[in-house]
Amino acid sequence: MDVRIKGDVLNWIKFFLKGIIETAEDSIRVFKAFIQLKEDSDKTIYKLGKKAPQAKLLLDHLFGAPLIEAEEYARVTKLSLVSTYRLIEDFEKHKILVELTGFKRNRLFSFQEYYKLFNANFKK
């Protein structure tokens, strides 16, 4: 209103620039946390020994699609369903994945830490 009434463009520009700075700082914080999550997750999957190459495939997939169904992942990677469920169990043990449905079949898994990065940023 002051811009229209008093011609106070300078304060409007300061207000606008402050918003840009705050948004950029939040983006940098989320990006750094994302990189840290990626590094930590990579370290965790290499603890899985022989399963590490398959686990890396699953982890890379999760960074692109953080909600998965085992059957879908098995189709995409051409791993057996048994191998896929074993990987998912390992990911659950290491708290990378969390099962959401509570069902025995048609279960849905979430990469919770990935979601937390973005949800924490938007709840401000």
Reported as a single tens digit per residue, the pLDDT across 84-116 is 899 999 999 999 999 999 888 889 999 999 988
How much is the average pLDDT of 8-13? Answer: 86
Report the length, in residues, of the chain.
124
Asked whether 59 and 42 are in contact (CB, 8 A), the reply is yes
* pLDDT for residue 121 is more than 60: no
Q: State the pLDDT confidence band at 122, using cuts at 50, 70 and 90.
A: low
Reported as a single tens digit per residue, the pLDDT across 37-77 is 999 999 998 899 998 988 898 899 899 889 989 888 888 77
In this structure, the dihedral spanned by the alpha carbons of residues 112, 115, 121 and 123, taken in order and rounded to 10 degrees, is -80
Q: How much is the pLDDT for 105?
A: 82
